[in-house]
Structure 1
Amino acid sequence: MMGVRGVAVNQKDLAHKLRQAREKLGLSQEEVAQALGVSRESLAQWERGERLPPALHLQRLAWLYGLEEKSLFEGGEVRYRDGLSVLLPEGVSLSAKARLELQRWLEFLDAYAEFLKEEGEPLSPAPQGILRELRPLGGLLTDVRRASSEARKVRERLALGQDVIPDLRVLLDGLGILVYQASLGEGLASRGEQVPEGEGSPATIWGAFYRHPQLGFSVLVNVDSTPGRQVFTLAHELSHALYHSRLPGILCRREALPEEKEVETFANAWAAHFLVPGNALKERVGEWVGDPRKLSAEDALLLAHHFGVSYTLLLYRLLNERLITEDTFRAWSRISPRVLAQVLGLSQEPYHLPAPSFLGELGRFPPSVLRRVRRAVLEGRLSVSEAAGLLDVDSTTLQRKLLASAEEEAESKEALELAKELNFRTPGRRRKALEA
């Protein structure tokens, strides 16, 4: 019979493939239905062959199961997508929500590569610039003893010195690494529970690193984690781009697979040193309290805010640099950073799980993507509907957020207040005569 997109569909065969794909992944009908936003009974009817799924839902099912959509209509076995097979090795179990978001990310990368081709921009999966300069021979470094020196080398190459790292999302985007944000679920660790993953339980995913065959490096960050955790994830994924370019991709989970542990351990160590350099930490401690033995938990929280990292990461760095003892570390780990922040008059927001409102909209994409798409629409090379399809948003959202005029109707209050203070010119200086 004729079905989805005018393609002849063997309804019984399609139902069998959908049911088999779901069962192979160990997903329940309830999980899949919730991820798609449909009733479980609707999904059951599709799997029994009583009804055909609408085109949009069939597309999402293909994303969710990691299948090539065309193979659902063709004879023989279904074909799995390469990107998902790279990120999901045998034995890794994901929730339906996380699996769907991973597929959306991979679908976007493919569509964006096609957009750049049409724009006439060169595509290269090979590392460029600093990513090429600093990658180790063979593209794989796992020696944790080199993490500190390598982090220092990258800081020097980026002219960061011992300073606090700027917005990492913007920094990676400037290096040519596409950062995509997605809601992958909180997971146990994000709620502070120390419960080990059981066999077959959905993995807690912090992010992913993927070497796209046309775009090169892209990373995904789970926004259902605290801001501090997201910063660490970005630094962790940057380490993969710098030192593990030989890998086609890796899903960064709370429990790494045995074959991934060396790579993940190095990335963790490098990220910690990159975000909080040992010399800079010791210098701050010396300036603030003098003797490290006078450090308090309140000082640790202030240091965390200074470096823009989580309280937990800062405690580990203090311990790593032998500025506190293990007993002190354990004692301070039991203290709530939210309470300390309140005591010190600091924002408690960094210690709460965010409730992102942008999901399904434009906040998922890096600045470089939004800039290119906006320019292509404004210059008439891309229609609004084509741009909405590329970014997987509705046309109204696109018009309201991406294509909005950047010019305000009236000057802001700040601009008026600072007009006198900032509207000046530095007087020219005469050159000094060179001494003989």
Structure 2
Amino acid sequence: MAEGLTGLEALGLDELAESTSEDLRSAEVGARVAAARHRAGMTGTELGAAVGLRKDQISKIESGKRRLDVGELPGIAAALGVTVRYLLGQSERPGLAMAARLAAGVGPEATRSARRRARQLLELDDLLGQVAGMPPARPSQAGAVVLEQARSGFTVRPRSKVTAQAQGLELAELTRRELDLGSDALGDLAALLEQHFAVDVALSPLGTDADGLCVHGEHSALILASSDFPDGHLRFTLAHELAHHLLGDPREVIEEIEHDMFAGNAEEWRANAFAAHLLMPERGIRSVLEWLGAGQGQVSERAVVALMEHFGVSMAALVYQLNTIGVIDYEAGKRLRDQNRVRTLISRHRDVAPTEAATIVRRVHRAPERLARHALAAVRAQRLGLSVVAALLERDDDEHLWESVMGDIVTDGDNGDDIVL
């Protein structure tokens, strides 16, 4: 399961038995193979090599002169980045279609682990929808307003850094206003995204070569971030990817490898400004500084550490925002960003950073709440095996997992009602 689902369910073959042999001989199937091959930029020789067939056999399949064997379908679909359902002309299941594209897509080496985990989650999403009746994610009423206004109000690509940053600020203020978040620090950011924006959020230790990725389409959205980074860095990644989703970024897969989030283009400037203002609104920062007794131009190192702790952000993110709103100048920010200095500052002012939340690396595994809830319910109802939960939670399928899954329901001694802990 660590590599994702396999077999009929993962490849969309669960209803293949209903297809007739005539379906597999049809010229329409061959035409779809040819169309998918051309879109993938592959030659007949390359496709044949990928699936163990000769170029002339591929040519005959595409022209409808050769019967396409059932056993050949999965390999051809995977090589072309489509689903078996697509090749057979059956109605697509969007999650599997996206998973297939992730499997076949050629991305940076740094995001391979993230792609693999995203593909697995999309496959599990589809399985839970088919077997456990899990409904698709839906935004809250306030979240739907933000999504609609973001995609209708920011259709023109900003042409300058100033314009991009202004749009990021405007979108962050819209989000906080519609969600009634005020100007203080945000709590569980992953849960907030899931609650309001129909985005599944997952955290996994994926290394530090890539921050994470956002996979979104017409029917689903998934944000995946690496928990091998400190919590403050991770939170900024989640907020940054949310900006791409809210603004309807046309890329189906947005991969953030090292330094990508701070690339010099309008999309990244806007997403960074959104993330900074969402996590650290100017009014909230100035309120904390006033509480700490810091005047204009008199921000102490202790105050900086307290701001990191309060908003749960990294030093780099905090300095970015303090520079943006004019609390400190560039040179002061440059001195603060030095990593050795960050550790020293936190150690020196531990009284205002007792949890070190902004810098601690927890390497957590977090599955999307929607998927976890329905998977656990399906296991308890004996509709799915525990291996699905193990894959979802990235845990071993053993007695400890069984005890934690089945042992978190107790009975109220007074009335016998089940209480899920």
Q: TM-score, normalised by structure 2?
A: 0.65
Distance in 1, Cα, partners of 2:384 & 2:104: 37
Q: Does 1:252 align with 2:256?
A: yes
Equivalent residue, structure 1, for 2:124: 111
Select which of 379, 383, 393 maps to 2:385: 383
- Residue identity in the other structure for 2:361: P
How big is the alpha-carbon RMSD for the aligned residues of Structure 1 and Structure 2?
3.9
SS in 2 for 1:329: helix
Note the C-alpha offset of 1:124: 7.0
SS in 1 for 2:222: strand
- Alpha-carbon displacement from aligned partner over 1:140-188 (angstroms, at most 9, x marks no partner): 564312211210110011110112111101111212211122332223x
Native 8 Å contact 1:135 1:245 kept in 2: no
| Structure-2 change in CA distance of 1:303 and 1:383 (3 Å) | same
Select which of 171, 179, 195 maps to 2:192: 171
SS in 1 for 2:213: strand
- Residue identity in the other structure for 1:177: V
- Residue identity in the other structure for 1:119: A
Equivalent residue, structure 1, for 2:278: 274
Distance in 1, Cα, partners of 2:131 & 2:297: 61
- Residue identity in the other structure for 2:136: L
| Structure-2 change in CA distance of 1:332 and 1:169 (3 Å) | same
Note the C-alpha offset of 1:84: 7.1
Q: Does 1:342 align with 2:344?
A: no
Note the C-alpha offset of 1:385: 4.4
Distance in 1, Cα, partners of 2:325 & 2:264: 26
| Structure-2 change in CA distance of 1:256 and 1:100 (3 Å) | closer
Select which of 326, 329, 333 maps to 2:330: 326
| Structure-2 change in CA distance of 1:399 and 1:212 (3 Å) | farther
Within 5 Å, give how 1:261-410 maps onto structure 2: 261-334=265-338, 336-345=341-350, 346-347=353-354, 349-350=356-357, 354=361, 356=363, 363-388=365-390, 393-396=395-398, 397-407=400-410
- Residue identity in the other structure for 1:305: E
SS in 2 for 1:252: strand
Select which of 154, 158, 163 maps to 2:175: 154
Note the C-alpha offset of 1:221: 0.3
Within 5 Å, give how 1:229-244 maps onto structure 2: 229-244=233-248
Select which of 199, 202, 205 maps to 1:183: 205
Native 8 Å contact 1:236 1:270 kept in 2: yes
Distance in 1, Cα, partners of 2:266 & 2:378: 43
SS in 1 for 2:221: strand
SS in 2 for 1:186: coil
- Residue identity in the other structure for 2:346: A
| Structure-2 change in CA distance of 1:390 and 1:241 (3 Å) | same
The percentage of aligned residue pairs carrying the same residue is: 23
SS in 1 for 2:328: coil
Runs of at least 5 residues in structure 2 that lack an aligned partner in the other structure = 1-5, 8-49, 53-70, 83-96, 159-163, 413-421
- Residue identity in the other structure for 1:118: V
Note the C-alpha offset of 1:380: 3.3
Distance in 2, Cα, partners of 1:296 & 1:229: 22
| Structure-2 change in CA distance of 1:374 and 1:319 (3 Å) | same
SS in 1 for 2:79: coil
Distance in 2, Cα, partners of 1:257 & 1:149: 19
- Alpha-carbon displacement from aligned partner over 1:313-343 (angstroms, at most 9, x marks no partner): 1122111111112222223233622222222
Distance in 1, Cα, partners of 2:252 & 2:264: 13
Native 8 Å contact 1:71 1:79 kept in 2: no
Native 8 Å contact 1:341 1:347 kept in 2: no
- Residue identity in the other structure for 1:379: A
Native 8 Å contact 1:237 1:267 kept in 2: yes
Distance in 2, Cα, partners of 1:89 & 1:261: 28
Native 8 Å contact 1:341 1:348 kept in 2: no
- Residue identity in the other structure for 2:321: R
| Structure-2 change in CA distance of 1:386 and 1:179 (3 Å) | closer
| Structure-2 change in CA distance of 1:212 and 1:183 (3 Å) | farther
Equivalent residue, structure 1, for 2:415: none
Native 8 Å contact 1:211 1:217 kept in 2: yes
Distance in 2, Cα, partners of 1:224 & 1:317: 23
Native 8 Å contact 2:99 2:122 kept in 1: no
Distance in 2, Cα, partners of 1:392 & 1:118: 20
Equivalent residue, structure 2, for 1:63: none
Runs of at least 5 residues in structure 1 that lack an aligned partner in the other structure = 6-46, 50-68, 188-204, 410-436
| Structure-2 change in CA distance of 1:94 and 1:84 (3 Å) | farther
Within 5 Å, give how 1:85-234 maps onto structure 2: 92-95=107-110, 98-123=111-136, 129-130=144-145, 132-137=147-152, 140=155, 142-143=157-158, 144=164, 145-175=166-196, 176-187=198-209, 205-212=210-217, 214=219, 216-234=220-238
Distance in 2, Cα, partners of 1:241 & 1:339: 37
Q: How many residues align?
A: 321
Higher mean alpha-carbon deviation, 220-229 vs 399-408, is at: 399-408
Distance in 1, Cα, partners of 2:280 & 2:245: 19
Native 8 Å contact 1:134 1:242 kept in 2: no
| Structure-2 change in CA distance of 1:237 and 1:398 (3 Å) | same
- Alpha-carbon displacement from aligned partner over 1:335-375 (angstroms, at most 9, x marks no partner): 6222222222234744656253x6xxxx3412222111112
SS in 2 for 1:240: helix
| Structure-2 change in CA distance of 1:292 and 1:123 (3 Å) | same
Distance in 2, Cα, partners of 1:344 & 1:310: 15
Note the C-alpha offset of 1:122: 3.8
Distance in 2, Cα, partners of 1:126 & 1:303: 31
